[in-house]
Amino acid sequence: MAKKENKSAAQQAAAQAAPTGKQSVEVIQTGDLMNQLKQNGATKSTLSPDATVMALNGLKTMVHDNPNAAEYYGMSEDSVKKINTFTLAGFATVLAIEVEQRKSPFAIKMLENQPEAINAISQFTGVRIDVKALPAPDEKGEIEVPSTAIEVSEEGKKQIKKEKDIENAKPTTNPAEIENENQLAASLSNLLTKGADNIGARIKRVIDFYRGYLTIQANKAENKEEELQKVKSMTRTEMFEKISVIVGECPFAMNGTAKIFRDMIQKELNPVVPFCIYRRTSVNGDNSVDDEFVSDILKILVKWSCSSTIEHAQHNIAEAERLIKKNEKIVGEEKDATKKKLAQTAINNYVNAVIPDAEKCIAEMQSILVVLTNPSFDAIDSLIEDYNGKDDTKDEYKLAHRIVGNVIKTYYKGVDLTKVDNEALLNNVQQRAGIIINMFRDPLTKNQNYDESNITELKEAETSAEGEEKAE
């Protein structure tokens, strides 16, 4: 606690906020801070403001505020601790953003033990609270923590500034208005995530925008004709791959469409369903579409999501290892028992939670990349048998029906399924699914049993009733 002869942090905040002695410092609760940030759109993370608030407040209510969380949700006590650490880190990060972006001082109410808990992970979040400068807790066990007592590390400030610069880059839909790389990245990201149209249309739009930007830049070059030829010779796939590098880690890759496709491939161990979903959004007016282009774009989307997630996890590991060494020095040299305890708590968190979780995440992403370039034919080889299975609770049955349903919706749109032979239809669907798998594999590992030449013309069904039953 602060000594009486020293001006407290709360008093300093009040003095700065009200030089005339008439203006008071705004005091808010942690939850109110989150809601205010949501309304102002001030949070900047891989989640949207709404999702950030929902995730953190939801976890706090479900786990932190529930003393029986482990038993109630069937989790281990270790899992509960990890979730509470995640929640606390989220609040600390949002708090750092608020401290950096607010124009006037404020104070926030916390439970008595929250400041020290935040300090225990401060070297990872970049947020630290000067607990010695805080007033005594009130009768409810709450402390008013003034913004002047909240310290944000230089690295944290740089990250917030970087994200703010991109956020304020004023995205434009006119490539001629691009002034710098931040604005280019912001515009490309904005084109990918904004708008109500489908993902296929958005990707086409962002590729056209980038081609327009490159053409404008080529026209400004001294070797104009040479640069224009380079732009002209670039394929749509090459364009989109460069876009993924320019934009890098972003909500679209980490939590949006790319992640959805990534999760499908991880669950099903093959790309047939996400391929069909994306292809259906890419159909032109004449229903023609380049399947190879669809597979190429899907590969980029999933690689983008996996690579961004791996890079993020690797950064967390490197930072954790740096902070472990720093805290080990504190444990070995510091005489203050409280500081030694906080440092050891931080070390335990990095060793037992942060690093293992990051390593697990990297392993999962790498396994998805293996599936992406070498997907299995297992579900395709047994597709018809699994589809006709009697046990609709089996995972194989469910996957077979997802594959068959999506292939039919994608390649047989408008076909009256009650009038075609079901066996011939299923054989064609199996062939089409195998062809899709082949597009993701190395040419030397393609399965020659699945080929366009094996797709046959659909026969008329013997009885419409049977066809109708199978179509369902």
Residue that finishes a domain, picked among 110, 129, 156: 156
* Lowest model confidence (mean pLDDT) among 2-6, 43-47, 133-137, 392-396: 43-47
Q: What is the pLDDT of residue 255?
A: 64
324's tokens: 């472990």
| Shared-domain flag, residues 196 and 212 | yes
Same domain, 233 and 252: no
Structure tokens at 249: 């880690």
CB-based contact 99:150 (threshold 8 Å): yes
Q: Is residue 367 a part of any domain in this protein?
A: no
Q: Is 445 left (phi over 0), alpha (psi -120 to 50) or beta?
A: alpha
pLDDT category at 304 given cuts 50, 70, 90 is very high
In this structure, the answer to whether residues 51 and 89 fall within a common structural domain is yes
Query: How many structural domains comprise the chain?
Result: 4
Does residue 378 have a pLDDT over 80? yes
pLDDT of residue 6: 40
Higher pLDDT, 144 or 350: 350
Q: What percentage of the chain reaches a pLDDT higher than 70?
A: 68
Counting beta carbons within 10 angstroms of the beta carbon of residue 332, is it exposed (0 to 12), middle (13 to 18) or buried (19 or more)? exposed
2 lies in a domain? no
User: Per-residue confidence at 243, pLDDT binned at 50, 70, 90?
Assistant: very high
Does residue 100 fall inside a structural domain? yes
* In-domain check, residue 213: yes
| Residues 152, 26 within the same domain | yes
Residues 134 and 23 in one domain: yes
Give the amino acid at 236.
R
pLDDT score, position 86: 53
Is the pLDDT at 288 greater than 90, yes or no? no
- 22 and 142 share a domain? yes
Looking at residue 110, its amino acid is M
In this structure, the answer to whether residues 44 and 149 fall within a common structural domain is yes
- Cα separation, 296 vs 14, whole angstroms: 59
Evaluate whether residue 163 is within a structural domain: no
What pLDDT score was predicted for residue 230?
94
Q: Is residue 162 part of a domain?
A: no
What would the mean pLDDT of 348-367 be, rounded to a whole number?
Answer: 92
CB 261 within 8 A of CB 278: yes
pLDDT in tens, 413-427: 878 888 888 889 999
For 36, the domain range is: 9-156
Residue 197: its pLDDT value, please? 62
CA 402 to chain centre: 25
pLDDT band at 295 (very low <50, low <70, confident <90, very high): very high
Identify the domain boundary among 230, 246, 262: 246
Q: What is the pLDDT of residue 214?
A: 95
At 121-152, the pLDDT tens digits run 666 667 788 888 788 888 888 888 887 888 88
Quick one: pLDDT at residue 53? 37
Domain end call among 246, 274, 304? 246
- What token pair was written down for 219? 């026209």
Domain co-membership, 308 together with 326: yes
Q: What is the mean pLDDT of the chain?
A: 76
Same structural domain for residues 358 and 384?
no
209 & 108 share domain: no
Report, as an integer, the average pLDDT of 200-222: 91
pLDDT at position 32, please? 45
DSSP category for residue 421: -
Within 10 Å of residue 368's Cβ, how many Cβ atoms? 20
Does residue 131 sit within a domain?
yes
Specify the pLDDT at position 241: 94
**What is the Cα–Cα distance from 324 to 332, expressed in whole angstroms?**
12
Q: In angstroms, how far is the first alpha carbon of the chain from the final one?
A: 71
**pLDDT tens digit sequence for 386-442:** 999 999 899 999 999 999 999 999 998 878 888 888 889 999 999 999 999 999 999
| DSSP characters over 248-311 | -S-HHHHTSHHHHHHHHHHHHSSSHHHHHHHHHHS--TTS---HHHHHHHHHHHHHHHHHHHHH
Q: What is the pLDDT of residue 416?
A: 82
Is 225 found in the same domain as 272? no
Inside any domain, residue 4: no
Query: CB atoms < 10 A from the CB of 343, how many?
Result: 24
Whole-model pTM: value is 0.65
CA-closest candidate to residue 375, choices 269, 235, 256: 269
* Shared-domain flag, residues 206 and 261: no
Split at pLDDT 50, 70, 90, the class of 85 is low
